[in-house]
Amino acid sequence: VYGLINLRGQIVTALDLRRRLELPDRPPGPPPVDVVVRTDDGPVSLVVDEIGDVLEVPAEACEPPPETLRGAARELIRGAYK
């Protein structure tokens, strides 16, 4: 858990994806970005380095994760879009 954020009066847990995916600590530079996602248990914030393009993709375009994916990421990622 990276911390808590106040989202329009609602306290939301922030998770650092670098830690969860067992990546090295964030290098100095621009501050991280919070991406809030809705789950069945309520909103959660994913702390990421940056956001690139935002795309809408069809569900059927999802493919299994690549075989080269290892460690915690392999356990967490259900699929990937090319």
**Is residue 62 within 8 Å of residue 55, measured between CB atoms?**
no
The answer, yes or no, to whether residue 73 has pLDDT greater than 90, is no
**What pLDDT, on a 0 to 100 scale, did the predictor assign at position 24?**
93
Q: Is the pTM of this model over 0.85?
A: no
Between CA 47 and CA 43 the distance in angstroms is: 13
pLDDT digits (tens, 9 = 90+) for 9-61: 999 999 999 998 889 999 999 999 999 999 999 999 999 999 998 889 999 99
Instruction: Reply yes or no on whether the pLDDT at 70 is more than 90.
Output: no
